[in-house]
Copies of this chain bind each other. A is one copy, B any other.
Amino acid sequence: MLINCVAYEDGNRLADCPIDEISEYVRRPHCFVWVALKDATPEELGTMQREFGLHDLAVEDARHGHQRPKIEEYGDTLFAVLHTVEVGPTDDLVVGEVDVFIGPNFVLSTRNRTHQGFLGVRERAEREPHLLKHGSAFVFYALLDAVVDRYFPVIDTLETDLESIEDQIFEPHLGRANIERLYALKRKIGIVKHAVSPLQEAVAKLISGRVPQVCSNNREYFRDVFDHLTRMNASLDSLRDTIGTAIQVNLSTLTIEETEITKRLAAWAGIFAVATAFAGIWGMNFQHMPELQLTWGYPAALVIIALACALMWWRFRRAKWL
């Protein structure tokens, strides 16, 4: 589905541009065309391929989707695959895909399975013609920056999640809930990591070594994005490491809980065993058990049993078993 297709000259909006005139605008100097698609059909991609002269393999990738984030050169054109990560209605993470083709005088983006669009990026860019004048590479930067900036709230959510688990990680009766939440969190981190980590590698190539021609004038902007990605990556690694430790700690907490229950079991078993043993002894059928004849024998026995149990209870209490 075509969202919009606009031609720009010297950073200013020139005209909404009909699809079949794209190739004309692309040929004009100082002019570039910025096309945005959503859930593009194979036919639309075919049209675009003809108008912009895109490479077979790149269009193939865009058609199939489900690529790994990457930035590839095909001649003087770049093909970038970005992943969007959005928090879905039931707190799960939804991964979408934005494919961007960047040529010397065109930018073509197509987004799939994403809820939020990039109209805001276009508006902001159009308000700053002195930046938009940098051409298609700046548009690419703006899209990239928008995608990357949207990772931050997601990572914040994950960090908040972890903190709320950590608040109760030493509460033993929550062992099962904690381990389930830690496992779910680890999976979410994996999802974000798969978006961030390959993108960081890809952006690194835009700022060091042999930089693609089309991006060579905007290195500082891409370094800024790279910097954000590096920070996110460090946060994710740190989250992952903490979860690993938290899982180990969870196991220790569970073992402590079991030890405490075993202690209680042992303590109460002991106390009742004493009572039962006394009762059993005075329940024996020997004929000559003088205490059985005493009038105050029974109450005395009850008191002795109670005292013995109380003594044990007190000792277990002191030893922190109860």
Contact = CB atoms under 8 A, between A and B. Distances in A.
A313 interface: no
B266 A268 contact: yes
Contacts of A318: none
Contacts of A170: 176, 179-180
Contacts of A57: 220-221, 224
Given A238-B194, A262-B265, A289-B285, A254 B257 contact: no
Given A242-B187, A255-B251, A261-B263, A288 B284 contact: no
A29 B242 CA distance: 52
Interface stretch (A35-43, A66-74, A110-118): A66-74
Given A72-B223, A272-B273, A259 B261 contact: yes
A164 interface: no
Given A68-B227, A266-B264, A286 B259 contact: no
Contact of A254 (B246, B250, B252): B252
Given A220-B57, A268-B266, A190 B68 contact: no
A206 interface: no
Given A175-B252, A258-B258, A284-B298, 20 more contacts: A57-B224, A67-B227, A175-B256, A190-B242, A248-B248, A248-B251, A254-B259, A261-B263, A262-B262, A268-B269, A268-B270, A269-B273, A272-B273, A273-B273, A282-B284, A283-B285, A286-B297, A287-B297, A288-B294, A288-B298
A112 to B, nearest CB: 17
A28 interface: no
Contacts of A248: 247-248, 251
A310 to B, nearest CB: 14
Contacts of A274: 272
Ranked 3 nearest A-B pairs via Cβ: A279-B280, A272-B273, A265-B266
A280 B269 contact: no
A24 to B, nearest CB: 28
A225 to B, nearest CB: 10
Nearest to A191: B238
A320 interface: yes
